[in-house]
Amino acid sequence: MTRTATIIGGGVIGGGWAARFLLNGWNVQVFDPDPQAERKINAVLSNARLALPALSDVPMAEEGRLTFHDTIFDAVAGSEYVQESVSERIELKRKVYAQLQQANPGVLIGSSTSGFKASDLQEGSPAPQNIIVAHPFNPVYLLPLSEVSGSPANTTETVERTAQIMRDIGMYPLVIRKEIDAFIGNRFLEAVWREALWMLKDGIATTSEIDEAIRMGFGLRWGQMGLFETYRVAGGEAGMRHFMAQFGPALKWPWTKLMDVPEFNEELVDLVANQSDAQSGAYGIRELERIRDQNLVGFLRALKERNWGAGKVLRDHDAARAAVFHAQTDTAPKAEPLTMARMQVLPGWIDYNGHMTESRYYFANSETVDAFLRLIGAGMDYVAGGHSYYSAETHIRHLGEAKLGDRLTGTIQIISADEKRFRSFVRIMKGDEVVATIEQLCLHVDMAQGKTVAASPQVWANLKAIAEGHAGLPLPEGAGRAVGQPR
């Protein structure tokens, strides 16, 4: 069953939330009185469609349906969750919550507020327990952090339900232990921002030089280790205690002006804005967003390969969605090819022609055959016991084209099998169209001895049952073809 979320406020943050929910299969209902809201959200969504799938190694969910509504009442109808992203005006937020709770009593409301505590947001509400903070970071569709902050009015169940919704859309819910203005992330950002403004105002550094100090140095460390773990490493073999002993006295030195804030006036605004224009003004905002997204994808994928930090969140989300796709595969012998894999052509799968690249057809075959091996009991546990099926011969035919976003299905037909080998015929389907076939001979191997041996009795029994079910099927068109053989 498709789930539904409501987005109230369609600016940069609201648009990012809409994209995050939509691309994870939710229907999204939007309310924003701005006549440009639909255009703005679709612009954000366009960037998200290019970026978020590049982080995935399993098919994205079927994109949900996006609708725009003229009233809050219409937008919240049938929703299980609301993400409010209106301006940071407390009375406006409370007015929105009152309308939401009148239209859909009991609906869970998360706020994107950057600083208001949940207890501030809940004031005057007939159901304060259903209003909670879920504070994201931009771009919402790529960065996984969501700071979840409740008040004493929120039950443990409400907090966990909010956190689970965040996990369901691939985010990392960081539940704040105690209510605090601006939560955790913005507290750090505010401190850095104030210090940067002083260095700028005092002529110590320009906007460009400050940014270089971050992105060429500690920003790269923070992105994968955070603050305390970075300093622990800085302490060397003696660890954090040594670091604290070495650098602790510096806390009393007059290094920063964090207790003193420069006057916010037109002179300061002009100083910041003019330098920023000179630094980045050659690029349009949408172009800068795409550059940012591509850089983040590369960084996040590197973390994902190492199952580290934010990359672990991506790996876990992939695993959860992969389980859904595995559940849709065939599980018993039958007299027709078995559906073993469901895939999607992701950004990393395409070549310079815009088509699915050749290596990914072999990968699609591997996904299909690996699922088949799990089905017959020759998965990773079997491999850990010292036995596996090795590919001995493979023949791929390219019959059609697959392009970015295409959804593919891998089916397998067993042409022949005995205790030591099987010959498979995989079809990679785009709907009813066969875009490729892969014929393969796999040998059962004792990995320690490096030689072909008979499969275990149970694996052979499972394979034999499927092979017998396929024995009456006609030989697939193209099976046994030689390379370049005329049709």
Mean pLDDT of 351-379: 94
**What pLDDT shows up at residue 251?**
65
Domain 186-282 - what CATH class?
mainly alpha
50-54, 250-254, 482-486: least confidently modelled range: 250-254
Is 6 in contact with 75 (CB distance < 8 Å)?
yes
Is 85 in contact with 7 (CB distance < 8 Å)?
yes
At residue 250's C-alpha, the angle toward residues 248 and 254, to 5°, is 150
**What pLDDT shows up at residue 234?**
80
pLDDT above 80: residue 424 = yes
Distance CA 34, CA 10 (A): 8
pLDDT above 70: residue 367 = yes
**What pLDDT shows up at residue 325?**
83
**What pLDDT shows up at residue 67?**
98
User: How many other C-beta atoms are found inside a 10 Å radius of the C-beta of residue 319?
Assistant: 11
CATH number of the 331-470 domain: 3.10.129.10
Q: Rounded to the nearest 5°, which phi and psi values hold at 58?
A: -130, 160
Is 203 in contact with 267 (CB distance < 8 Å)?
no
- pLDDT class for 144, splitting at 50, 70, 90? very high
Compute CA distances 448 → 190, 346, 445, 455, whole Å.
59, 37, 9, 14
State the DSSP code for 236: G
Task: Indicate the domain borders of the chain.
Answer: 4-183, 186-282, 331-470
Identify the residue with better confidence: 122 or 310. 122
pLDDT above 90: residue 7 = yes
Strand order in the sheet with 66-69: 66-69, 27-31, 4-8, 81-84, 108-111, 131-136, 145-149, 172-175
Distance CA 472, CA 24 (A): 41
Is 214 in contact with 189 (CB distance < 8 Å)?
no
**What pLDDT shows up at residue 324?**
86
What percentage of the chain exceeds 90 in pLDDT? 75
pLDDT digits 0-9 by tens, 295-328: 899 999 999 999 988 999 999 999 998 888 888 8
Q: What are the structure tokens assigned to 12, written together?
A: 């940069």
Identify the CA nearest to 364 among candidates 432, 441, 429: 429
pLDDT digits 0-9 by tens, 203-256: 999 999 999 999 888 888 888 888 888 888 888 888 778 777 777 676 677 777
**What pLDDT shows up at residue 408?**
96
**What pLDDT shows up at residue 65?**
98
CATH superfamily ID and name for 4-183 = NAD(P)-binding Rossmann-like Domain (3.40.50.720)
**What pLDDT shows up at residue 81?**
98
Identify the residue with better confidence: 273 or 434. 434
Mean predicted lDDT score pLDDT of the chain: 93
